[in-house]
Amino acid sequence: MVASVTKNSCQPSEIEGLISQQDIIAAQDDWPGFCDTMFKHALRRKKEIERVAKIHRDPFEPIMPVLEAASPVGEYRKITEEILLRMPDEKRQPRAAAEATRSFLLLRIGLHTGLRQKNLRELLLCRPGDLPTPERKLEDLKRGELRWSTREKGWEILIPSVAFKNANSSFFGSKPFRLILPDLGRLYELIDAWIDRHRCRLIGPAADPGTFFVKTAKITSTNAAYSQTTFFEAWRAAIPRYGIYNPWTGRGAIEGLLPHGPHNVRDVLATHILKQTGSYEQASYAIQDTPDMVAKHYGRFLPQDKAEIAARILNQVWEAA
């Protein structure tokens, strides 16, 4: 039970420099009005604090060398190229080759789609020749699917809008997310190899979860489905191995990079589009969000000289002449 406090059981007293006797009398005479006054005072103080407050943890710090580059996506792409450069021999090290292929596809598909980690790790797989999962069923499952599009002759990702965190965003308009992955940089070659050979090697004797990405099933863990934690760890483990430049071994793609998770790839995409176009709206398309959200989180990376962006587009007319 909660004991009630009566007016007589708790007599207010002065606090030097903070609460005077006049404040106490004013509060007792008109408590609702006194609350309104204090509320307005708190709002004014809040705005004053916001002007001088500093962010002690910068969420962009791990990937700052990428975001500061002229082409953030081009800079981050160096990690996937490092994976290809150091790809183990599949015949001699089949499991290591499978895990390297998985790391490559994690980063490449993340870069092409800008999906949140939940949508990425829950992405179902429909093999070529199999019937794609009906869109109604995907809505019930709140999951997307990677399938082969015979019409487009390419790998297609289809995700119903209800599967997204911001399903009610104006970006979707109740329509599904649909994207054909480009056949560039050996992406299709590695997808085919992953589906044909590598994926089943990592699943081993465990039950197939049906997702495109699977974790390595071990003796102590026969579950091949990723959880939020294990998916984050898989992405984070790939960064020190292939992304962070090591001056002693000469390995690694980007100097100054720090370990990070899958969410940061969305920062890379939004910043890249923002730097190239200066448009919050176009940047929002890359990460399935709204221009207001992009302006709030990524406005600091908008090029200071906006006239340079316009000049770069106009100069293309003269270069083509």
- The answer to whether 126 and 147 are in contact (CB under 8 A) is yes
Q: Cα–Cα distance between 87 and 89 in angstroms, integer?
A: 7
Q: What CA–CA distance (Å, rounded) separates 276 from 302?
A: 9
Residue 165, pLDDT score: 85
Sheet order of strands, 177-180 included = 124-125, 145-149, 154-159, 177-180
Q: What is the pLDDT of residues 125-140, one digit of tens each?
A: 999 989 999 999 999 9
What pLDDT was estimated at residue 1? 35
Please name the CATH architecture into which domain 70-262 falls: Orthogonal Bundle (1.10)
Mean pLDDT within 46-74: 84
Q: What is the mean pLDDT of residues 23-47?
A: 87
Tens of pLDDT, residue by residue over 193-205, are 999 999 999 998 8
CA nearest 182: which of 138, 221, 149?
Answer: 149
**Arithmetic mean of pLDDT over the chain:** 87
Determine the pLDDT at residue 305. 57
The pLDDT of residue 313 is above 70? no
What's the Cα-to-Cα distance from 251 to each of 79, 96, 240, rounded to whole Å?
A: 11, 17, 10
Residues 73 and 66: beta-carbon distance below 8 Å: no
Mean pLDDT of 191-220: 92
Average pLDDT over every residue of 242-251: 92
Measured between alpha carbons, how far is 71 from 63 in angstroms, rounded to an integer? Answer: 13
Mean pLDDT of 70-80: 94
Q: Give the separation between CA 82 and CA 104, rounded to whole angstroms.
A: 9
Model pLDDT, residue 312: 67
CA gap 63, 118 in Å, rounded: 21
Digit-coded pLDDT (tens) for 249-290: 999 999 999 999 999 999 999 999 988 888 888 888 888 888
Nearest to 116 by CA among 296, 226, 266, 273: 266
Average pLDDT over residues 104-120: 94
